[in-house]
Chains A and B, each alone.
Chain A
Amino acid sequence: MRQWVDAEVRVRFEEVDPWQIVWYGRYLSYFEVARTVLMEKFELLADRLLLLGYRTPIVSLRCQFKAPARFHDRLQVRATVKVPETASLTFLFEIHRPADETLIAVGETSHVLLSEEGQMIYQFSGPLRERIDRMVAFCNPSP
């Protein structure tokens, strides 16, 4: 079983479109709230990574919209990371509305790692590897 980290967001007025539902692009910011909680836990937030000399640009995004969220909904956003098979990070996301137990959206983002010189890293090493290993082990406990 995967381990997820949770965050709560409250849908703001500015996030709702003229159809009274959350505009599709907003879900990405919601994913980011949970991903930030996960990355912070393992000292992998963007500013900490910059100190190590790395950036983690996104290269792929997938999102499935299951049900509309509305103004002032209280949403539970969850994030986890897959066991990497290459030198990339793939995060999984779910957005739920606990009040009526509705699944709102599921998503996935993939990120590569760049060195200070803008070169793509093909192998994780050093403190970067240790932190990623800890995050992956937390999210994917062995049975």
Chain B
Amino acid sequence: MEKVSLEDIQDTPQLIDFLRRMIIESLKLEDLDPAEIQEDEPLFGEGLGLDSLDALELVVAIEKHFGVVIENEDQGKEAFVSLTAMARYIQREVCRP
């Protein structure tokens, strides 16, 4: 996947589009059409139905693409609610001095 610029990160629709493709690539969900992942749909449990091992893959992908480290489930809970929540979390953490 291409590198993400700081500009793209601030552009919420662009970032969400990138996150859709990142989720599909890192979780090997190639059969899924990116557009099928709704912005406000829960990523875990009901909704997209991801599990604990998927969460760990996403933690690594977010660190790789954005340099944002998620330490534990408590922090992850906020980031993994939905695509919108994940985008908001990344935008906030990237800007943290």
Residues of A within 8 A of B (CB): 59-60, 85-88, 110, 112, 115, 119-123
Contact = CB atoms under 8 A, between A and B. Distances in A.
Interface residues of B, number: 16
A86 B59 contact: yes
Given A122-B73, A123-B69, A112 B52 contact: yes
B73 A86 contact: no
- Which 6 A-B pairs give the minimum distances between C-beta atoms? A86-B56, A120-B73, A119-B73, A122-B59, A112-B52, A86-B60
20 contacts: A59-B51, A59-B52, A86-B53, A86-B56, A86-B59, A86-B60, A88-B53, A110-B53, A112-B56, A115-B72, A119-B72, A120-B52, A120-B55, A120-B73, A120-B76, A121-B73, A122-B55, A122-B56, A122-B75, A123-B69
A40 to B, nearest CB: 25
Contacts of A88: 53, 56
Contacts of A86: 53, 56-57, 59-60
A86 B53 CA distance: 8
A87 B70 CA distance: 11
B74 interface: yes
Interface in B53-70: 53, 55-57, 59-60, 69-70
Contacts of A112: 52-53, 56
A87 B73 contact: no
Q: Is the interface of B mostly helix, strand, loop or mixed?
A: helix
B74 to A, nearest CB: 6
B46 interface: no
Contacts of A119: 72-74
A140 B87 CA distance: 37
A108 B85 CA distance: 34
B31 interface: no
Contacts of B56: 86-88, 112, 120, 122
Nearest to A59: B52
A120 B51 CA distance: 12
Given A85-B60, A87-B59, A123 B53 contact: no
Contacts of B72: 115, 119-123
A88 to B, nearest CB: 5
